Structure 1
Amino acid sequence: MYHLTALVTLLAIVFYFFTSINVSRSRTRTGVKVPAMSGHPDFERAFRIQMNTLEWMPIFLPSLWLFAIYISDAAAAGIGAVWIIGRIVYFIGYSKAAAKRGPGFAIQGIASIVLWAGALGAVVLRLV
């Protein structure tokens, strides 16, 4: 069973939901009306945090699950937790200034690459 990976998946979804709520709150706080996508730097950063998280989820989630299936539920969940931590660091940094998004981006990017490369390696090994 993949209980730990399922938990990390649910936590990633909760984090994405949080970023969506943050965009809505930012619209209210900054006066950026729907459907505008720009207008105030604080809103634009909140929106980019949400969109960047969404852009990475199709890379992260399949890699997470394939890693869990082919390698280890616990290892996948651990690396997946690092991805979530990276997204939180990204959120905190980018919320302050665009220039501060780098460390969180690097953390989540490395976690995603490890999951993807591990899954790919495990699948290829089973094919040969």
Structure 2
Amino acid sequence: MHFVELIAILSVCQFLFFGAMTGRARRRTGLLAPATTGAPEFERMYRVQMNTLELLVAFLPALLIAGTHHNPIWMAAIGSVYLVGRFIYWFAYVRSPSSRGLGFMLSLIPILLLCVFALVGVIGAF
């Protein structure tokens, strides 16, 4: 289970990193809080942070439940694809939002797989 826990905390750290990058973009562009529009560089980084938060809500419980019911090394491996996908998404989105597709799919597919594994594990436990 420690592999699953490692991936879980790394995903939280990744989200915090994206938050720091959003703050950095805010400072660089001079966009004052609470504004969230007005500087494209900031808006792109902000969307990476918010999209990551939106996915994290599904990723973490799916990872932890799947890791409880199935081989934790395999579940952590699937979770690590999510982490890589989020970084690819970040690099692509801040450069050209239309190129974010690969990173998004490498984030979404692991979540869907983990949800299936979690659901099968929970149902099989009855």
TM-score, normalized by length of structure 1? 0.95
Q: Partner of 2:74: helix, strand, or coil?
A: helix
Cα distance, 1:75 vs. partner?
Answer: 1.0
Q: Deviations over 1:56-91 (max 9, x none)?
A: 111000000011001121111101100000000000
Residue of structure 1 equivalent to 2:39: 40
Work out the CA distance in 2 between the residues paired with 1:122 and 1:13.
Answer: 24
Residue of structure 2 equivalent to 1:86: 85
Residue of structure 2 equivalent to 1:100: 99
Code of the residue aligned with 1:24 in structure 2: it is G
Q: Is 2:25 the partner of 1:23?
A: no
Q: Partner of 1:32: helix, strand, or coil?
A: coil
Q: Partner of 2:36: helix, strand, or coil?
A: coil
Q: Following superposition, which runs of at least 4 residues in structure 1 exceed 6 angstroms of deviation?
A: none
Q: Deviations over 1:81-119 (max 9, x none)?
A: 000000000000001011011110001100000000111
Q: Deviations over 1:2-45 (max 9, x none)?
A: 11011111111111011000001001111111110110111000
Residue of structure 1 equivalent to 2:49: 50
How well do the aligned residues superpose, as a CA RMSD in angstroms?
A: 0.8
Q: How many residues align?
A: 126
